[in-house]
Amino acid sequence: MTRPRRGKRPRPRGRKPGGSEEERAPRSRSRNRSRSLDVSSGGNPLAQKVVACILIVAGVVILIVGVFGLRKAKDSADWPQVSGRILSSSVESRIQTNSGKQKSKKRSRQSRVYSHKIRYEYSVKGKTYTGSRVSYGDSESENQSRIRRISNQYSAGKEVNVYYSPSDPQECLLEPGVKGQSWFVPLFGILLCGAGGVMAFSGLRSK
């Protein structure tokens, strides 16, 4: 007896190199996601250039103002002095809002800053003047104790030495010379210029 031939089993068709549609779908989604991340991380080149230019220009302006203030502070060490009297001395405060972005959510932080308000009078060649500057570089501060210490140092009615500019007696102050706070403005200008330069350089490298 001859055995009946068994039919050949159909061979399973090989899968396409790209895989099934179900397998290709997550791959395409991952590619699109990576592309979107690259675009978002790179940013808009034109906007990046504009921001870099704004930072550099603002930094240069602030740096010029700061250097001018440093020069004035240095010159004030040689100014003549006269006797003066404190008219009023007080401390004022205000709420300052600092906004920022963190994790794509805009957040704001409120802080209270303090400033001293000191007025004094003095006479030069028989003419009376009033002034309010303590030193070059005076600014608001969150350090309440420091501002109150300056205000208490120059309490109302106190006799003080007032230094004035020989070319313009209306320009005056109580503490001549370069102080630590006199460096804040020029250093801030340098910081802005540096940030703008780094941003512009990174934009050129990304091309």
Query: Is 90 found in the same domain as 67?
Result: no
pLDDT of 61 strictly over 80 = yes
Query: Is 197 found in the same domain as 126?
Result: no
Alpha-carbon 79 to chain mean position: 33
Is residue 199 a part of any domain in this protein?
yes
Query: Is 171 found in the same domain as 84?
Result: yes
Is residue 124 a part of any domain in this protein?
yes
For the entire predicted model, the pTM comes to: 0.59
Residue 162 is part of which domain span? 80-100+107-175
- Residues 83-136: pLDDT tens digits? 999 999 999 999 887 654 444 445 567 889 999 999 999 999 999 999 999 988
Mean pLDDT estimate for the chain: 77
Is residue 34 a part of any domain in this protein?
no
Is residue 182 a part of any domain in this protein?
yes
In the block, residue with structure tokens 């070319």 = 167
CA distances from 132 to 72, 79, 136, 152, 154 (A): 16, 17, 11, 15, 11
Query: Is 136 found in the same domain as 92?
Result: yes
What are residue 117's phi and psi, to 5 degrees?
A: -120, 100
Query: Is 170 found in the same domain as 90?
Result: yes
Query: Is 164 found in the same domain as 137?
Result: yes
Domain count, the chain: 2
- For residue 10, give both structure tokens: 């159909």
- Residues 13-34: pLDDT tens digits? 555 555 555 555 555 555 555 4
